[in-house]
């Protein structure tokens, strides 16, 4: 199967690289499974504060789902549903991580690639990047779960533009819609992403976990997530990190959080 996910962890930052450059980093079935496997592994680790997801090279974050899979795995309604379930599993697993996630978008971010970027908590984009969802050009029924994800990130009008026109939405337009958190010239976008990653990694992990759960609970209306958020908030308020944060503030120094 073409493509792979290159994964590394250093300095509290996990980096996932969509690696399928011959197909503009199109995401194969094996790559979707690798994203889900990373999320399962990350749930057991304590050394990750934030994760970055990006494409290999500068030409594309991802050109979407690898169409070479379609004849074998997505040739009829049943196969399409199974494939949609595979994509949804990976995107939901990414959303469910306890730590924040950031997508670095360069070049094309298309179809399922846009859904994957929307699964991250934040997005940093090069000024010449663009988003597109060409389902209406393919006659493809788009999974409502994925559409809801695009809706939450791009807003109702942005989602309409992406789906109804199947046209490109520039990174600048996405920034105006709130879907892109930071916009930078192509030559500076890596540095912009690194600054954001370092800023997040410096903060208290338990606070970030509680905040992420609360945001997701509010966005989705899931009562179970709200209960998790309340419990996570209680844990953060009873943590050694909270004491460290108070001491660092009074001593006018940077806090040293351990996640405990």
- What's the helix, strand, coil split of the chain in %, to 5? 55, 20, 30
Helix (H, G, I), strand (E, B) or coil at 252: coil
Strands 4-10 and 13-19: antiparallel
Q: What is the pLDDT of residue 77?
A: 67
Q: Under 8 Å CB-to-CB from 148, ≥6 apart: which residues?
A: none
Distance from C-alpha of 18 to C-alpha of 27, rounded to nearest angstrom: 7
Q: What is the pLDDT of residue 46?
A: 92
Distance from C-alpha of 165 to C-alpha of 136, rounded to nearest angstrom: 8
What does 91-135 look like in DSSP terms, one character per residue? HHHHHT-SS-EEEEE-BEEETHHHHHHHHSSEEEEETT-EEE-TH
Please determine, looking at this structure, whether the domain spanning 4-201 carries the CATH number 3.30.930.10: no
Q: What is the pTM of this model?
A: 0.93
Cα distances (Å, whole numbers) of residue 16 to 35, 57, 88, 214, 219: 8, 13, 18, 25, 25
User: In order along the chain (260 residues), what is the average pLDDT of each group of 10 residues?
Assistant: 89 97 93 96 94 97 82 60 91 96 98 96 98 93 92 97 97 98 98 98 97 93 88 96 95 94
116: phi then psi, degrees, rounded to nearest 5: -65, -45
108: phi then psi, degrees, rounded to nearest 5: -80, 135
């Amino acid at each position: 199967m073409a493509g792979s996910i290159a994964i590394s962890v250093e300095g509290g930052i996990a980096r996932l690289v969509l690696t399928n450059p011959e197909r503009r980093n199109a995401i194969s079935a094996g790559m979707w499974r690798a994203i889900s496997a990373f999320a399962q592994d990350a749930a057991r680790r304590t050394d990750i504060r934030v994760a970055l997801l990006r494409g290999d090279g500068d030409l594309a974050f991802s050109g979407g789902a690898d169409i070479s899979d379609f004849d074998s795995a997505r040739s009829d309604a049943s196969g399409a549903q199974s494939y949609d379930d595979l994509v949804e599993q990976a995107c939901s697993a990414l959303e469910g991580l306890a730590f924040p996630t950031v997508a670095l978008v360069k070049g094309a971010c298309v179809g399922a690639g846009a859904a994957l970027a929307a699964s991250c908590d934040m997005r940093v984009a090069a000024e010449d990047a663009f988003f597109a969802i060409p389902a209406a050009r393919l006659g493809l029924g788009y999974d409502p779960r994925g559409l809801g994800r695009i809706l939450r990130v791009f807003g109702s009008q942005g989602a309409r533009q992406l789906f109804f026109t199947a046209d490109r939405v520039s990174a600048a337009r996405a920034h105006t819609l709130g879907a892109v958190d930071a916009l930078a010239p192509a030559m500076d976008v890596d540095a912009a992403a690194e600054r954001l990653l370092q800023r997040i990694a410096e903060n208290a992990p338990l606070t970030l976990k509680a905040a992420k759960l609360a945001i997701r609970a509010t966005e989705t209306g899931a009562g179970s997530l709200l209960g998790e958020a309340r419990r996570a908030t209680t844990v953060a308020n009873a943590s050694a990190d909270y004491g460290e944060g108070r001491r660092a503030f009074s001593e006018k120094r940077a806090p040293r959080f351990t996640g405990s």
